């Protein structure tokens, strides 16, 4: 990733869609991953307005599993409730094996007049899933979506 | 060439990667493909197939079909049979889109009659068969009714008037996997899937109008047995699965298996997407029961979509669907694990055959085939890209080497991200129209991901299955209209 890019899709798994996300804190990298997921599902994600607010609290024993559960919740809300959401704030705390996440999600109900669908995100896979610090101390995540 | 140096040719279209390729392999890798297709495979296909060979209880070989490509965990186009008593079940060996599959429907319409109405037909199908992200199905169900769908599959649909008993006879497993238990699925899966019965989905899911050209028949006798024959005959092919319901089932159980593996079963896997549990364990049986529910949801989905297609055709061609003779040729599953009997080392064994992006291809004489196909072998449908064409094939006795499995599509040769960089959806749509293929897409930008250049040659894949003895070509079908999710 270059400059201020918080996420980018990379040419990786032939069948599906892989992205990398970056953030100064764990909360930032989780929020960047939520933006990447929204960009995978909706063309011009900037057209998704902050109309609805949801709160989410999760726990897990591993950071990568916590990220997968967090993104899987967003996939569920998109598919079951037609809510296109991004994270306004994510707080991740704790250490292995006891991580906690609190997130404020914002967005709106998909509207076919204003939102152009991109990919039908089926699931967040565990393939190549990673959350780790890079050599500069930033947090990086790598996620492959089944689309 | 990306293929490993230790890959050895063992047949005209058959290759073997020995057990020593990587530590922990219980069986070799066997790849069914021509040299050209093997050379074009992602290097990761060999790595992933070798990883699959480390699964506890895997039998025979870890298999790759000619359309194999780099997936998440298992390769797409991969087949792994595990011992039903001693082996494991792995959600990753099936995929998130459980029972994603194909249905081919013949008609008595000829191209000359359809051509002037093609635009109206494609638009009507696009309007009446919901597709794309966030689409809701046209069948409204209570939770109890949805649970009936999960138990009964396409049989529920026919019982409710969506189709005929003949449709069931020409559907794999007669449209319902036995062993489905709605108690094994989460409330989230139910919530996600309940309003999606009667939706195509998105990505590579589509509904296509195709024609049989005079040069498209490879085997006249088999084509006739499958109800195809006259040049210009119009058929409909569609590709979809268990939608969000199946995706959530797989999501839930992948999570459950990742946690249970080390703690309950002392299992370790090379790749988390190979997460598994002993088939005979509580976790393994619960996933199987949930997977059967998802497979049944997919069969029901394709069945209700067929009935909607019949309605649209009847309206556009102004005569009852029965008079258009819109009949199911066959409905095949791509992403399942099934209990089957196969001969291994000279004795019959009960195996759990995982197929991820692979088609079952039973040979002539197999007792599970409907009477009309007992002599022909099972019809196999290989869907190509929307720009090229698709194939109808038939299973062969020589397919026992692949546990009677064959290819499912032409197989991606390029990632979606790269395809989007190279192709503009609107330009592709215009170019296809000029070549006589009318496309209606829920996402024009997403259309680029499905461009023909992102796929291998379906002709080479179909030929490779024949050279490898997995299936034989019956007919090639040419697209003229496509509704893409």
CB contact (8 A) between residue B446 and residue A15 = no
Tell me what pLDDT residue A46 has. Answer: 93
Going by pLDDT thresholds of 50, 70 and 90, the confidence category of residue B17 is: very high
Q: Which residues of chain A have a CB within 8 Å of the CB of B419?
A: none
Q: Which residues of chain B have a CB within 8 Å of the CB of A13?
A: 44, 70-72, 415
Number of helices and strands in chain A (H, E): 2, 10
Tell me what pLDDT residue A1 has. Answer: 67
Q: Would you say B394 and B474 are in contact if contact means Cβ atoms under 8 Å apart?
A: yes
Rounded Cα–Cα distance for residues B26 and B51 (Å): 10
pLDDT at B134 > cutoff 80: no
How do residues B142-169 score in pLDDT, each as one tens digit? 999 999 999 999 999 999 999 999 999 9
pLDDT at B1 > cutoff 70: no
The count of other CB atoms within 10 Å of the CB of residue B285 is: 17
Candidate from A17, A18, A117 with C-beta closest to B202: A117
Task: Kindly state the percentage of chain B with pLDDT values over 90.
Answer: 88
In whole angstroms, how large is the CA radius of gyration of chain A?
14
CA distances to B237, B326, B384 from B391, in Å: 10, 19, 8
What is the rounded average pLDDT of the residues B346-370? 97
Going by pLDDT thresholds of 50, 70 and 90, the confidence category of residue B26 is: very high
Tell me what pLDDT residue A3 has. Answer: 63
Q: Would you say A131 and A67 are in contact if contact means Cβ atoms under 8 Å apart?
A: yes
Judged by DSSP in three states, A42 sits in strand
Tell me what pLDDT residue A2 has. Answer: 62
Candidate from A13, A69, A126 with C-beta closest to B272: A126
Q: Which tokens in the block code for residue B249?
A: 């089932």
Tell me what pLDDT residue B417 has. Answer: 83
CA nearest to A145 within chain B: B72
Tell me what pLDDT residue B200 has. Answer: 92
B443 interfaces chain A, CB cutoff of 8 Å: yes
Judged by DSSP in three states, A88 sits in strand
Tell me what pLDDT residue B186 has. Answer: 98
Judged by DSSP in three states, B136 sits in coil
| Shortest Cα distance, chain A CAs vs residue B472, angstroms | 26
| Shortest Cα distance, chain A CAs vs residue B425, angstroms | 12
Q: Which tokens in the block code for residue B48?
A: 């992933």
Candidate from B258, B412, B444 with C-beta closest to A15: B412
- The DSSP H or E segment spanning B478 is strand B471-484
pLDDT at B117 > cutoff 60: yes
- The DSSP H or E segment spanning B67 is strand B58-69
B415 interfaces chain A, CB cutoff of 8 Å: yes
Angle of helix A63-81 relative to helix B243-260, nearest 10 degrees, comes to: 160
Q: Which tokens in the block code for residue A94?
A: 């704790």
CA distances to B84, B342, B351 from B87, in Å: 6, 15, 9
Say which of B334, B354, B408, B440 is annotated catalytic.
Answer: B408
Tens digit of pLDDT at every position of chain A (147 positions): 666 799 999 987 777 899 999 999 999 999 999 999 999 999 899 999 999 999 999 999 999 999 999 999 999 999 999 999 999 999 999 999 999 999 999 999 998 888 888 888 999 999 999 999 999 999 999 999 999
Tell me what pLDDT residue A15 has. Answer: 73
Q: Which residues of chain A have a CB within 8 Å of the CB of B40?
A: none
pLDDT at B314 > cutoff 60: yes
Q: Which residues of chain B have a CB within 8 Å of the CB of A82?
A: 134
How do residues B203-260 score in pLDDT, each as one tens digit? 789 999 999 999 999 999 999 999 998 899 999 999 999 999 999 999 999 999 999 9
| Shortest Cα distance, chain B CAs vs residue A136, angstroms | 27
How do residues B370-393 score in pLDDT, each as one tens digit? 999 999 999 999 999 888 999 999
pLDDT at B442 > cutoff 90: no
B442 interfaces chain A, CB cutoff of 8 Å: yes
Q: Which residues of chain B have a CB within 8 Å of the CB of A120?
A: 132-133, 201-203, 205, 485
B24 interfaces chain A, CB cutoff of 8 Å: no
Q: Would you say B454 and B413 are in contact if contact means Cβ atoms under 8 Å apart?
A: yes
CA distances to B120, B217, B231, B288 from B387, in Å: 20, 19, 20, 36
- The DSSP H or E segment spanning B112 is helix B111-114
Q: Would you say A80 and A43 are in contact if contact means Cβ atoms under 8 Å apart?
A: no
Q: Would you say B201 and B131 are in contact if contact means Cβ atoms under 8 Å apart?
A: yes
Cis peptide before A97 (omega within 30 of 0): yes
CB contact (8 A) between residue A127 and residue B73 = yes
B239 interfaces chain A, CB cutoff of 8 Å: no
ipTM above 0.90?
yes
Candidate from B69, B255, B485 with C-beta closest to A14: B69
pLDDT at B11 > cutoff 60: yes
| Shortest Cα distance, chain A CAs vs residue B273, angstroms | 6
Hey, what's the torsion of the CAs at B121, B122, B123, B125, to 10 degrees?
80
Q: How many CB pairs under 8 A join A and B?
A: 128
- As a whole number, the mean pLDDT across chain B is 95
| Shortest Cα distance, chain B CAs vs residue A137, angstroms | 26
Tell me what pLDDT residue A12 has. Answer: 76
Pick the residue with more confidence: B192 or A120? B192
Q: Which residues of chain A have a CB within 8 Å of the CB of B485?
A: 120
Tell me what pLDDT residue B131 has. Answer: 86
Pick the residue with more confidence: B455 or B26? B26
pLDDT at B480 > cutoff 80: yes
| Shortest Cα distance, chain A CAs vs residue B276, angstroms | 13
Task: Kindly state the percentage of chain B with pLDDT values over 70.
Answer: 100
CB contact (8 A) between residue B443 and residue A118 = yes
Pick the residue with more confidence: B416 or B337? B337
CB contact (8 A) between residue A110 and residue B247 = no
How do residues B263-287 score in pLDDT, each as one tens digit? 999 999 999 999 999 999 999 999 9
Q: Which tokens in the block code for residue A54?
A: 């949801």
Q: Which residues of chain A have a CB within 8 Å of the CB of B250?
A: 123
Q: Is B408 a catalytic residue?
A: yes
Specify the range with the lowest mean pLDDT, choosing from B6-10, B122-126, B204-208.
B204-208
Judged by DSSP in three states, A11 sits in coil
Candidate from A9, A79, A117 with C-beta closest to B417: A9
């Amino acid at each position: 990733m270059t400059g201020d890019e918080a996420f980018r899709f990379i040419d990786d798994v032939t069948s599906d869609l892989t992205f990398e996300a970056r953030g100064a804190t764990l909360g930032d990298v989780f929020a960047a991953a939520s933006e990447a997921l929204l960009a995978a599902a909706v063309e011009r994600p900037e057209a998704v307005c902050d109309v609805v607010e949801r709160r989410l609290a999760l726990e897990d024993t591993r950071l990568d599993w916590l990220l997968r559960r967090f993104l899987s919740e967003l996939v569920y809300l998109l598919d079951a409730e037609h809510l296109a959401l991004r994270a306004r704030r994510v707080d991740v705390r704790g250490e292995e094996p006891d991580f906690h996440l609190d997130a404020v999600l914002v967005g709106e109900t998909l509207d076919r007049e204003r939102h152009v669908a991109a990919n039908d995100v089926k699931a967040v896979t565990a393939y190549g899933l990673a959350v780790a610090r890079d050599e500069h101390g930033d947090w990086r995540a790598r996620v492959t979506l089944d689309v | 060439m990306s293929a490993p140096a230790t890959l050895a040719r063992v047949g005209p279209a058959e290759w073997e990667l020995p057990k020593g390729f990587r530590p922990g392999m219980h069986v070799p890798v066997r790849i069914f493909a021509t040299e050209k297709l093997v050379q074009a495979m992602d290097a990761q296909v060999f790595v992933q197939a070798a990883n699959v060979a480390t699964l506890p209880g895997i039998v025979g070989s870890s298999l790759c079909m000619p359309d194999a490509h780099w997936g998440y965990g298992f390769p797409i186009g991969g087949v792994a049979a595990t011992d039903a008593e001693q082996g494991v079940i792995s959600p990753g060996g099936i995929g998130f889109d459980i029972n994603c599959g194909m249905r081919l429907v013949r008609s008595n319409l000829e191209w000359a009659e359809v051509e002037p109405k093609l635009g109206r037909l494609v638009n009507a199908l696009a309007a009446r068969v919901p597709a794309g992200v966030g689409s809701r199905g046209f069948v409204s169900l209570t939770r109890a009714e949805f649970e009936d769908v999960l138990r009964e599959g396409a049989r529920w649909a026919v019982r409710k008037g969506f189709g005929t008993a003949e449709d069931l006879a020409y559907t794999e497993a007669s449209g319902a996997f036995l062993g489905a238990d709605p108690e094994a699925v989460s409330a989230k899966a139910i919530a996600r899937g309940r309003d999606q019965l009667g939706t195509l989905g998105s990505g590579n899911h589509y509904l296509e109008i195709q024609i049989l050209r005079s040069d498209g028949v490879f085997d006249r006798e088999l084509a006739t047995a499958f109800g195809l024959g006259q040049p210009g005959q119009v058929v409909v092919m569609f590709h979809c699965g268990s939608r969000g319901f199946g995706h959530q089932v797989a999501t839930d159980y992948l999570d459950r298996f990742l946690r249970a593996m080390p703690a309950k079963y002392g299992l370790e896997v090379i790749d988390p997407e190979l997460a598994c549990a002993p088939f005979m364990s509580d976790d393994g049986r619960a996933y199987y029961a949930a997977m059967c529910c998802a497979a049944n949801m997919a069969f029901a989905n394709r069945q209700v979509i067929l009935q909607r297609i019949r309605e649209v055709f009847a309206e556009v061609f102004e005569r009852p669907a029965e008079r258009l003779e819109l009949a199911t040729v066959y409905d095949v599953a791509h992403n399942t694990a099934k209990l089957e009997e196969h001969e291994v080392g000279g004795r019959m064994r009960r195996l759990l055959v995982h197929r991820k992006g692979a088609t079952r291809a039973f040979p002539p004489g197999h007792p599970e085939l409907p009477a009309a196909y007992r002599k022909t072998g099972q019809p196999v449908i290989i869907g190509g890209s929307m720009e090229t064409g698709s194939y109808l094939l038939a299973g062969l006795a020589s397919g026992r080497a692949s546990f009677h499995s064959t290819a499912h599509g032409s197989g991606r040769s390029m990632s979606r991200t790269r395809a989007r960089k190279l192709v503009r959806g609107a330009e592709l749509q215009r170019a296809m129209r000029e070549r006589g293929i009318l496309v209606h897409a829920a996402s024009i930008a997403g259309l680029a991901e499905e461009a023909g250049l992102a796929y291998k040659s379906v002709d080479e894949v179909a030929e490779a299955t024949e050279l490898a003895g997995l299936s034989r070509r019956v007919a090639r079908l040419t697209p003229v209209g496509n509704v893409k999710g």
